[in-house]
Structure 1
Amino acid sequence: MSRTAATSLLALTAIVVTACSSAGGATGADAGPPKPGGTLRLGISSSPDCVDPQQVGTNASLNVGRQLVDSLTDQDPATGEIKPWLAEKWESNADSTAFTFHLRDGATFSDGSPVDAAAVKTSFDAIKALGPKSQLGSGYLAVYKGTTVVDPKTVKIEFSVPSAQFLQASSTMSLGVLAPAAYQKTADQRCQGDGLIGSGPFVFESLKQNQEIVLAKRKGYNWGSSLFKHQGEAYLDKIAYKIVPEPGVRTGSLASAQLDAITDVQPVDEPQFTGNGFTEPTRPNPGVVFNLHANVTKGVLTDEKVRQAVVKGINRPEVTNTVLTPNYKPATSILGSATPFYTDLSPLLAYDPAGATALLESAGWLPGPDGIRTKNGQRLTAKVVFSLVFNQNKSVLELVQQQLRKIGFDLQIEQRTTAESVQITQSGNYEYLWYNTTRADPDILRNLFSTKANNRSKLSAGNPVDAPLDAQSSTVNPAKRKPAAEEAQRAIIEHGYSAPVFELTQVLAHGPNAHGVGFEASSRLQLFDAWLSGS
């Protein structure tokens, strides 16, 4: 398949990217042409536990790692199309088990060594060897068979089963390429920046735990993504990521010009940056939306009508209008609207308490003395496990809890630490999980729902999602992949395997001197085109 045909895989889906410029804010045009120099002081909400993009999984870490490495390809945030970066062109075989990339000339790592086919092979083999330490890459390379150096500028990457998702995965920082010399250091050393040798537009300079991470401009960089707005070196001399966990302190530091930009603006703080020269760039996260993910082997959730009733009993617009802001969208599928091959299933997610009640009564669940339904002495209740990875999670779940009480369902909310939530997820000892997962490819559904992958719903063989999930994974042909992805999304909701609630949105804010602070396709920061104007 030609690169043109392969990249059309994702071009079918128009992705809505929103950005609001506050009244009175200086746009890039108002500030004049971009100019080089300066240090961007960027306030982030948590301290990255690791800065090696091949190992990390949190937004805080990925927002750092993206600036340090280049990827084989890039993904257009507006269309989902896969575009050239380190690879000028590529082909895949008929069943999507092999991808051949033709590398561009001239790219080098920060130690001066060339970005060639041998370096790509070393890097991909090393990511696979990391195993679970590569929090995202291990999934992308789960069925990785190996890499062959065809010639110095041509590399062939193969999988043991069809893996159409790899084309999009090749655009992520998790599969960004490091120099062979980087692997002379241990994985833990690379996490702290020691030996972290990439070919990206910035290089690692320093890390002070829970305080600051500093990156510096890569001198001579001239092989940027075809999606970058300019070519050559980055504009900024440095990026200083300031770790400021408290939202009020973060917003106050931006308002007082101690910071140039901040991430993770909370809904309650958004009005502060409407006007007065501030700008709020926003972008919805692609991938799986925040949802109640059911374990169909536990308690009342073994009853499909109960799961279906929960889907109908949630008033999603009330959630976004009451707890969140207009920057957040009610879920209209299990996938967010910024995901390639997303299908709008709004009718299946309409608020329908009467329909929910009818389902429960038909299944024998009758109102109890306190309003919670019962059946044969069993209360209609299930527990949801969550953590505060998003600041508003508890408030959202408390509102959903109130909504479900109206249909006689008792949702019990159990807050855990992120580490505890991960452990519970891995153990399978849960009724509902509350989470979202960011990925700009529908294959994220296979990773979470397939019986051949993580199978968070604990489905058995013969379920209605395995076949379409396998089908969308077996070809890069959009005419075949899109209907399979749609069938999987529809089945997940119709059978109540998940009750989607809302789409996570990345909300940034920056002052009048910061420009070009942007998002890549997975809604993580891309700072190559960022620049500072004078005060």
Structure 2
Amino acid sequence: MLRKRLDFRKGFMLFACLLAISTVGCTSAPPSVETADQQSNTNVSLTPKTGGTITIGYQAEPDTLDPQKTAISAGNFVGGFLGGALMVMDPYTLELKPNLAESYTISKDGKTWSFKLRPGVKFHDGTPLTASSIKQSMERAMDPKTASPLTGQELALIQSISAPDDSTLIFQLKQSSAPLLSALTYGGYHQPVSMEAVKKYGNNYGRNPVGVGPWKFESWKTGESITLKRNDDYQWAPPFVENKGPVRPDRLVIKFIKDNQTLMAALDSGTIDIANVPAKDVKKYKNDKKFTVMEGTPPVENFIGMNMENEILQDLNVRKALNLAINKEALIAADLKGEGVPVYGPIPPTMVGYDPAVEQYGYKYNKEEAMRLLEEAGWKTNERGIREKDGKELSLMMMIDNPKPGNQLVQSMLKEIGVDLKIQSYEMATASAQAVKGAFDLLATDHGSNDPDILNLLMNSNQIGGLNFFRIHNKELDSLLEKGATTMDNTERKQAYADIQKLVVDEAYWIPLYSAKTFQVINNRIQGVKPNPLATLDIQDMWVNE
């Protein structure tokens, strides 16, 4: 419910598709890379070839390819092939690096950002990319008349933009903002648009996009596919790829297939080359030598949040007991067929700022300790096996918007310690409305982003009535969240989020559950596939063997 764009989006950051094939990542120590049957077909050529078509199966269609007028992940996904941003996140080392910028500096107070641009970059229409053209593009996004639902909102902290010469771009910020630098890595949402093309196509620019990326727009068959063609002039690839020039395939087709079974049938038949496959279905592809399976763990966390306005949940011992009653590994087995990793705090393992120490001090399954804490809090077991105190039973309602086996397992686990848990299921829009009103005791949901500033939205007391559904009000936490959002010193920022993780675990505001693995299945006719911690696919180094 709460995922911010990993690929991804803002507001109620909802995204259904984790097939992130553009270059994304995060700036924390990279976890180990796992992959199955990587390019195992020994009969394929190892010499890259030019030509052919790569076809990707994707479960959503963009609303527009005007990056400043979309807020859905499909727009960023397709737009990422057409464009590029000032910065990029290296999916192999998970570091933030210059991209369209050659270098950058940030003033000590964090308010003045200076970018030196790469020379020689051109839009698909042949016009040069200059500091002035980026300035005009960004000012279009920030203009209220554009009504940019995401890009413009993320640039709102920029007070002014100047371009003293063709290669120098300067931002003056209203206040220091670490998350903004991270936002500037999204090659879809934050790519510069050709103002010449905007003038030419007007309101139809979203169907005639002109960017600076490795692929040019060719055609869009609504409800069916988008076709892109190679940009033969491309010489400004990201720093982490081997192929610094034009991509090797002639075309890239993004085919829209909403249904999982239909998607896998297309993969099996060879109609598409690449698809994201659910954990429950990935085993057959791991055992099939016609395919390579890349697996990774996106920075997304499933958790159960607690409503701090509930009198029962205001008792820290009760919140700790609920944490201790949950067997994370059993939930991973039930919901993900074992294809996930347990999470012990508010930041998942592949998100910026993750502190591995949380794996030591976070709550582990311990039913006996959970029952002891409830006894200590005065909750005694009645004849029905449910705990009660002062004549009131320990009964809670958990709201869900995603029915899955783990929900009933949670219900059983809590019953074992004497908690009567009722489950209320709503479709997503209703669940969101109920959550804003605080009409729940427990909320089973998820969150995700490439930056831990997502916690500012979910836990800061100034967001009560907004995305802080849990009514968390902790001045020390607010202060740490503010520090994490504004400090530009990586060491200080890392420490701030380490402190946040420890505080949130100590206060037991959430029950962290797991991060699900994601699987990209690739037909072995596509070569140049490289594993990385998030299982993103770098098309720049891929080629077609046929």
Q: Tell me the TM-score range normalised by the shorter chain.
A: 0.7 to 0.9
Amino acid at match of 2:221: K
CA distance in 1, matches of 2:26, 2:333: 32
Matched, 1:93 2:103: no
Identify if the C-alpha distance between structure 1 residues 171 and 331 changes in structure 2 by more than 3 Å, giving closer, same or farther: same
CA distance in 1, matches of 2:531, 2:172: 30
1:25 maps to which of 16, 23, 40 = 40
Counterpart position of 2:191: 176
Counterpart mapping for 1:508-519 below 5 A: 508-517=520-529
Matched, 1:236 2:246: no
CA displacement, residues 278-317 of structure 1 (integer Å, 9 cap, x when unaligned): 111112112x511112332246434433332222221111
CA distance in 2, matches of 1:396, 1:494: 25
Identify if the C-alpha distance between structure 1 residues 482 and 256 changes in structure 2 by more than 3 Å, giving closer, same or farther: same
CA distance in 2, matches of 1:68, 1:24: 27
Identify if the C-alpha distance between structure 1 residues 431 and 456 changes in structure 2 by more than 3 Å, giving closer, same or farther: farther
Structure 1, 368-377 or 71-80: larger mean CA deviation: 368-377
| Displacement of 1:233 | 0.9
Counterpart mapping for 1:116-515 below 5 A: 116-129=130-143, 136-137=150-151, 140-173=154-187, 174-181=189-196, 183-184=198-199, 189=204, 193-263=206-276, 265-277=277-289, 278-286=291-299, 288-298=300-310, 300-344=312-356, 345-346=358-359, 347-388=361-402, 394-453=404-463, 454=466, 456-457=468-469, 459=471, 462-515=474-527
Structure 1, 491-500 or 416-425: larger mean CA deviation: 416-425
CA distance in 2, matches of 1:55, 1:104: 26
Contact 1:40 1:238 in 2 (8 A): yes
Identify if the C-alpha distance between structure 1 residues 106 and 329 changes in structure 2 by more than 3 Å, giving closer, same or farther: same
SS in 1 for 2:336: coil
Contact 2:26 2:91 in 1 (8 A): no
SS in 2 for 1:349: coil
Identify if the C-alpha distance between structure 1 residues 525 and 512 changes in structure 2 by more than 3 Å, giving closer, same or farther: closer
SS in 2 for 1:273: helix
SS in 2 for 1:89: strand
Q: TM-score, normalised by structure 2?
A: 0.85
Identify if the C-alpha distance between structure 1 residues 44 and 50 changes in structure 2 by more than 3 Å, giving closer, same or farther: same
| Displacement of 1:49 | 4.0
Amino acid at match of 1:77: P
Identify if the C-alpha distance between structure 1 residues 143 and 360 changes in structure 2 by more than 3 Å, giving closer, same or farther: farther
CA distance in 2, matches of 1:76, 1:330: 25
2:78 maps to which of 64, 67, 90 = 64
Structure 1, 158-167 or 393-402: larger mean CA deviation: 393-402
Amino acid at match of 2:341: K
Amino acid at match of 1:35: K
| Displacement of 1:39 | 1.6
Identify if the C-alpha distance between structure 1 residues 414 and 181 changes in structure 2 by more than 3 Å, giving closer, same or farther: farther
SS in 2 for 1:80: coil
Contact 1:41 1:240 in 2 (8 A): yes
| Displacement of 1:88 | 0.3
Counterpart position of 2:12: none
SS in 2 for 1:258: coil
CA distance in 2, matches of 1:187, 1:419: 33
Contact 2:35 2:531 in 1 (8 A): no
Unaligned runs of 5+ in 1: 1-9
Structure 1, 292-301 or 230-239: larger mean CA deviation: 292-301
Contact 1:47 1:60 in 2 (8 A): yes
Counterpart mapping for 1:75-90 below 5 A: 75-90=89-104
CA distance in 2, matches of 1:186, 1:292: 47
Contact 1:76 1:83 in 2 (8 A): yes
Amino acid at match of 1:246: D
CA distance in 1, matches of 2:388, 2:196: 63
CA distance in 2, matches of 1:348, 1:256: 46
Identify if the C-alpha distance between structure 1 residues 186 and 140 changes in structure 2 by more than 3 Å, giving closer, same or farther: farther
CA distance in 2, matches of 1:400, 1:133: 43
Paired residue total? 516
Amino acid at match of 1:396: G
CA displacement, residues 145-192 of structure 1 (integer Å, 9 cap, x when unaligned): 2322232211122322221222222112332222224555999855xx
Task: Quote the sequence identity (%).
Answer: 26
CA distance in 2, matches of 1:411, 1:187: 55
| Displacement of 1:131 | 10
| Displacement of 1:62 | 3.3
Amino acid at match of 1:311: N
CA distance in 2, matches of 1:368, 1:135: 53
CA distance in 2, matches of 1:495, 1:200: 46
| Displacement of 1:73 | 1.1
CA distance in 2, matches of 1:419, 1:127: 28
CA distance in 2, matches of 1:266, 1:307: 32
Amino acid at match of 2:136: T
Contact 2:33 2:531 in 1 (8 A): no
SS in 2 for 1:241: strand
Identify if the C-alpha distance between structure 1 residues 70 and 21 changes in structure 2 by more than 3 Å, giving closer, same or farther: same
Amino acid at match of 1:399: L
SS in 2 for 1:448: helix
Structure 1, 326-335 or 405-414: larger mean CA deviation: 405-414
Structure 1, 516-525 or 212-221: larger mean CA deviation: 516-525
| Displacement of 1:101 | 0.8
Amino acid at match of 1:337: P
CA displacement, residues 419-457 of structure 1 (integer Å, 9 cap, x when unaligned): 444444555544444333332222222232223455514
2:54 maps to which of 31, 40, 46 = 40
CA distance in 2, matches of 1:44, 1:60: 9
RMSD across aligned positions (CA): 3.1
